[in-house]
Structure 1
Amino acid sequence: MISNNYFTDDEDLKLFFDEIIDWKEIIEESEGLEFFAHKKYLETNDSRYEMAPSNIEEAYELYKSSLESLGEFFGTEVSQASKAMDQNELKYNDGKVIFPQETIDIYEKFIQTGLMGYSISREAGGLEFPASLCAFFVMIMARADVSFCMTTTLLNLAQIVSRYGTKEQIEKYAAEAAQGQRLFAMALTEPDFGSDLNSIRTIATKQEDGSYRITGTKRFISQGCGLGEYPSLLLTLARTGKAGGGARGLSVFIVKSEDVVVAGIEKKMGIHASPTCEIVYDNTPAEILGEEGLGLTRYTAGMTNFMRLGSAAGGPGGSAGVYYECFKYANERIQFGKPIIEIPAVAELLDKIKREMNAMRLFVLETARVIDKYQHHQIRLEKEGLDDSRIRKDERVKFWSTIASTLTPLAKYYGSEEGHKCASIGVQIYGGAGYTEDYEVSRMFRDSRINTIYEGTSQIHVRIATGAILAGMSGDGNLRKYINSLQANLTSPSKYLEDQYTLLEESIQVLRSIKADEVKERLAENLIVQMVRYISSLLYERALGKIKTQVQLNNWKVECKNYVIDSAAIAKACNYRILNFA
């Protein structure tokens, strides 16, 4: 793979950071107008808060320097180890998963950077960066290696413990993760129940001393075995209520990987360096996280939203890897007496990857902004001891959490599906060479495929988002208010953008009128495609007003126009299906 700084050498990604993102807004939301964490450092002299910024300029410089360091490490270290980590596959022997030395070495090097706990709270010794910056982190990490990106993203699930755990759990578990001494895994899926979490059978039994014991089996658990000598903590969804009791009978438990049996690992198409385990619980000791009965409705929702945003960011992250590898190859590969980049059909394939990559970036970073608009405020209210009912009534939480619950499944759908398409285009650019294991693009294609499946398949996200769109786009719906606010930022929207909106409104009305649920579900993906591409087109055209450098502005104008035309054509096709299949 190309070896350089994956932040500073990516001109478009730098443009996002320097000009497109409104960091003042993000910083004021995450740090608070009073910069609470810095005030705490002044009051307590607690070293965990030492890096907390005292003003907007300090926060901006901290964020930028962190991305520069991350880009250097992943661009020059992780990227160069990715092929070996992929080819020297994991081995399983007598309940133990054996990792390639390259994976262990790169993990230990990453610990030394101090960037491991990027989203874990400062209370637990992490960096507590806003979701907007975390999205940048994932995009850079996924470009270098999807498997290793998964490892570090899962570790940052410790934020759930630092948010909902007791002080003892925060100190014992989240703090260890922030230092890289423990990994985390999300143990939800069971052999007979994939996304149907309401039906899980794993049982947690409360003991006389107040502790719990768990019995059951979980499957497809990424990083459930830990990594080498570094163990994992499994955030395990188990039933504390009666069988068939639905969501209210489920709770989340913290379980040490040392206390479970790893029954085996999957042999997979891709992400070879990431262990996917079958975990057996046999009267296994466990600690409850938070309260009984809120496992699915509160804690699992927090885990899956975090992981889904990470999965969404992995789409443009992996696409950046594909684009830059293909750009280099197309300039070097000579056919018919010239580099293949000079062949118009090949040039169009490269341009398509680039504009789709930046559209995904726009959508992911907007989703992260929406999360930042309420989540830090919500966590502060929780830490103040306000009960859930009062927090839910808070106007900021109420509005922005509703928008986030719509954008998150849309972002996950779009980033994973379009990211895989970009990887497929990458293989095509390489031709026959791309179908061999001689070049990194074949691994990128294999690795991209899982993104449409884990953290909820694309079909699950279509189902979630469809209801949210149909409800949210009612006359006074919050989604309509949000989209109106985006539209208000454009003084002269293009004809292609306006055409998309007209088609989107018509599709919504037709789908609302369909009585048969089966027909509606079959057509729903067409609505999702229209919505994600319309919002992305809005964001693309809005971004043009923020770019100051003339050369970059000229390039973006061309890319934006082509993307919006593509999206208008796709919207017409989707609308045609809805009108004629309804």
Structure 2
Amino acid sequence: MTAYRPNLADIQFILHEVLQAPRQLQALPAFADTDSSLLAQVLDEAGKFVAAEVAPLSRVGDEVGCTFKDGRVTTPPGFQKAYSAFCQAGWPALACDTTHGGQGLPWVLEGVVFEMLSAANHGWTMAPGLLHGAYECLKHHASAELQARYLEKVATGECLATMCLTEPQAGSDLGLVRTRATVQADGSYALQGTKIFISGGEHDLTENILHLVLARLPDAAPGPKGLSLFLVPKRLPGGQRNAVVCERIEEKMGLHGSPTCVMRFDEATGWLVGHAGAGLNAMFVMMNAARVHVALQGIGLLDAAWQKAHDYAHERRQMRAPRAEGLPKAGAEPDLIAEHPAVQNILHTQRAWIDGGRVLAYRTGVELDIAKHHPDAKRREQAQNWCSLVTPVLKASCTAQAFAGASECLQVFGGHGYVREWGIEQIVRDARVPMIYEGTNEIQAIDLLLRKVLPDGGEALAALWLSLRKDLDASLALDAEVLRRMAELRYLATQIHLAAAGDARLPFVVADDFLQVVALVLLAWAWTQIAHTPGADTPRWQVPGVALQQRILPTLEMLLRRIRLQLPAPNPLG
């Protein structure tokens, strides 16, 4: 079984050459000293850490998994040591403020590091995966007292954090949350209720765990607007154990190295984060950061699957591969399966998704940094518009392709892929859950169409397309195709907007297909940027670019037709 290897050459080509990220980041006062050399140095060190400390634990994490006994969770062998090394090296605090013990580096750099971590060992990476979101949530919404007590501990990884949203009766519909919070004489709150599907709700990686819990005050309004957010630590400031109980961990399809817990709060002590009734506002700071991380998980998992399939295809010999002049004569040595067109189709198609996905995800990371740090308010607004529209598309499309593409990569192994020896089946299992958590992919599609596109009649989407047009050259075939599809999609958004006035159900029916269309147009745009970059005129970049045009983009017609079939027929009388 081959272990994942961070592909720094590809990552840095996209980050430095395609996106010119160092130049964009250095234009921000906070990152004036963040040049190409610094980015390369950090990524090089991260790659070494990932390969040496995290990737070798992937198999034991899956096969041994987490164990539960008497309310305590023990992580797989080696996980605790690797996490301690992770913290000592300063990786959790990469993008946190220096005033809180962080390194003050760009978010996009942290995002790339977590892509590599997820590819190497998805189960282990789940533990620190929520740290930055929890940090931002507390930084923007917690009281000065809570920040002084916990913010630095989160930034440095001394305390890990959870998001406690889901309950047995309340999944995506958070308005059904029943967990109650009652104010105490000292200003703290007592929380009572049960949360399920809590990643890292209990473990042995850190002494303390900070649970960010959505709950309802006694006089709260019904529905989601009545929810408040509370910080409930595993251990109270004096060191004593809080009334937070892990009832069990789930037996899951994958991600065995990450404990998924049922958590019971028995009048547990907590403190309000933000304002009463504004819990979702505070929690979404955490969730939106997590959704970009999940998109990068998808890219990393697909890259890990592709690496295994690529390596196997260049070792395994079977039959003779057809050539333009016909099949070779019988009796010759079998060819590598990498020479067979069916295998090439799989490998090249997945690589097109990985490369294009990286362009979009890294661009989103840069836009997050711009939205936070750019001195010009208009540019910050443009960056926020990009992140608002592209984040749900990235989360849904990258995770869906991670699972579908990993399954395709398993096919390269034939029967060997279905057994544990080669490790590809673990990636397929692990890659399934990102389509579900942090808001299912169907929720992402609804968010995109009904909350981001339709309310203004598609104007925000049109502004996004306008910002991307400047990077296109209409004299080039792919660029011209992207321009045509942008105009087509803009008109389609208008049609859906008008039709929804007479059929409120329609946008929900077409939302998934609409998101996929947007994803493919963005993917095509990403590949125009690769094609325009000096150094991309080599087979390494040209071959997956051809796969994009021949095997991925043709599905646009099917998706567009499926949407149009749901629209009302034109009135012949006008």
> Cα–Cα, structure 1 residues 102 and 441, in superposed 2: closer, same or farther, change >3 Å?
same
**Residues 317 and 335 of structure 2 are in contact (CA less than 8 Å); yes or no, is this contact kept in structure 1?**
yes
Aligned to 2:559: 574
> Cα–Cα, structure 1 residues 568 and 510, in superposed 2: closer, same or farther, change >3 Å?
farther
Aligned to 2:356: 359
Aligned to 1:423: 406
CA drift of 1:565 comes to 4.3
Aligned to 2:198: 221
CA drift of 1:114 comes to 1.8
Aligned to 2:327: none
Query: C-alpha distance in 1, partners of 2:67/2:24?
Result: 43
**Residues 534 and 567 of structure 1 are in contact (CA less than 8 Å); yes or no, is this contact kept in structure 2?**
no
> Cα–Cα, structure 1 residues 186 and 208, in superposed 2: closer, same or farther, change >3 Å?
same
Aligned to 2:108: 132
Alignment of 1:234-383 (within 5 A): 234-240=211-217, 242-258=219-235, 259=242, 260-297=244-281, 299-336=282-319, 337-376=334-373
CA drift of 1:561 comes to 3.8
Query: C-alpha distance in 2, partners of 1:564/1:433?
Result: 31
**Residues 5 and 120 of structure 2 are in contact (CA less than 8 Å); yes or no, is this contact kept in structure 1?**
no
Query: C-alpha distance in 2, partners of 1:130/1:457?
Result: 28
Counterpart amino acid of 2:45? S
**Residues 496 and 564 of structure 1 are in contact (CA less than 8 Å); yes or no, is this contact kept in structure 2?**
no
Aligned to 1:555: 540
**Residues 465 and 528 of structure 1 are in contact (CA less than 8 Å); yes or no, is this contact kept in structure 2?**
yes
User: What is the CA deviation profile of residues 346-396 of structure 1, one whole-angstrom value per residue up to 9, with x for unaligned ones?
Assistant: 111111111111121122122223222212359xx9xxxxxxxxxxxx545
Aligned match of 1:400 in 362, 366, 383?
383
Aligned match of 1:85 in 61, 70, 89?
61
Aligned to 1:162: 139
Aligned to 2:424: 441
Q: Greater share of helix residues, 1 or 2? A: 1
**Residues 248 and 293 of structure 1 are in contact (CA less than 8 Å); yes or no, is this contact kept in structure 2?**
yes
Aligned to 2:175: 198
Aligned match of 1:464 in 447, 456, 465?
447
**Residues 449 and 514 of structure 2 are in contact (CA less than 8 Å); yes or no, is this contact kept in structure 1?**
yes
User: What is the CA deviation profile of residues 181-228 of structure 1, one whole-angstrom value per residue up to 9, with x for unaligned ones?
Assistant: 211111111111011122211111111221111111111010111434
Please identify, of 325-334 and 224-233, the stretch whose mean Cα deviation from structure 2 is larger.
224-233
DSSP-derived class of the 1:296 partner: helix
Aligned to 2:489: 504
Query: C-alpha distance in 1, partners of 2:272/2:357?
Result: 37
> Cα–Cα, structure 1 residues 368 and 468, in superposed 2: closer, same or farther, change >3 Å?
farther
**Residues 348 and 547 of structure 2 are in contact (CA less than 8 Å); yes or no, is this contact kept in structure 1?**
no
Query: C-alpha distance in 1, partners of 2:187/2:76?
Result: 40
Counterpart amino acid of 1:483? W
- Mark the runs of 5 or more structure 1 residues left unpaired by the alignment: 36-52, 382-393
Please identify, of 572-581 and 561-570, the stretch whose mean Cα deviation from structure 2 is larger.
561-570
Aligned match of 1:13 in 7, 11, 14?
11
> Cα–Cα, structure 1 residues 520 and 474, in superposed 2: closer, same or farther, change >3 Å?
closer
CA drift of 1:562 comes to 3.0
Query: C-alpha distance in 2, partners of 1:155/1:569?
Result: 40
- Mark the runs of 5 or more structure 2 residues left unpaired by the alignment: 236-241, 320-333, 568-574
CA drift of 1:409 comes to 0.9
CA drift of 1:338 comes to 1.7
Aligned to 1:479: 461
DSSP-derived class of the 1:455 partner: coil
**Residues 252 and 288 of structure 1 are in contact (CA less than 8 Å); yes or no, is this contact kept in structure 2?**
yes
**Residues 177 and 183 of structure 1 are in contact (CA less than 8 Å); yes or no, is this contact kept in structure 2?**
yes
CA drift of 1:451 comes to 0.6
DSSP-derived class of the 1:314 partner: helix
Query: C-alpha distance in 2, partners of 1:457/1:549?
Result: 35
User: How many pairs were matched up?
Assistant: 540
**Residues 510 and 579 of structure 1 are in contact (CA less than 8 Å); yes or no, is this contact kept in structure 2?**
no
Aligned to 2:514: 527
**Residues 54 and 121 of structure 2 are in contact (CA less than 8 Å); yes or no, is this contact kept in structure 1?**
yes
CA drift of 1:498 comes to 4.1
CA drift of 1:474 comes to 4.0
Please identify, of 118-127 and 181-190, the stretch whose mean Cα deviation from structure 2 is larger.
118-127
Query: C-alpha distance in 2, partners of 1:422/1:241?
Result: 48
> Cα–Cα, structure 1 residues 302 and 199, in superposed 2: closer, same or farther, change >3 Å?
same
Aligned to 2:74: 98
Query: C-alpha distance in 2, partners of 1:27/1:353?
Result: 29
Percent identity, please: 26
**Residues 158 and 184 of structure 1 are in contact (CA less than 8 Å); yes or no, is this contact kept in structure 2?**
no
Query: C-alpha distance in 1, partners of 2:498/2:551?
Result: 28
Highest RCO, 1 vs 2 (Cα 8 Å, sep ≥ 6): 2
Query: C-alpha distance in 1, partners of 2:4/2:557?
Result: 41
Q: Structure 1 residue 516 and structure 2 residue 503: aligned?
A: yes
DSSP-derived class of the 1:110 partner: helix
**Residues 4 and 307 of structure 2 are in contact (CA less than 8 Å); yes or no, is this contact kept in structure 1?**
no
User: What is the CA deviation profile of residues 448-469 of structure 1, one whole-angstrom value per residue up to 9, with x for unaligned ones?
Assistant: 0001000010111111001245
**Residues 177 and 216 of structure 2 are in contact (CA less than 8 Å); yes or no, is this contact kept in structure 1?**
yes
CA drift of 1:24 comes to 4.0
> Cα–Cα, structure 1 residues 14 and 96, in superposed 2: closer, same or farther, change >3 Å?
same
Aligned to 2:45: 69
Aligned match of 2:166 in 189, 194, 202?
189
**Residues 122 and 255 of structure 2 are in contact (CA less than 8 Å); yes or no, is this contact kept in structure 1?**
yes
Query: C-alpha distance in 2, partners of 1:327/1:20?
Result: 24
Query: C-alpha distance in 1, partners of 2:47/2:441?
Result: 29
DSSP-derived class of the 2:413 partner: helix
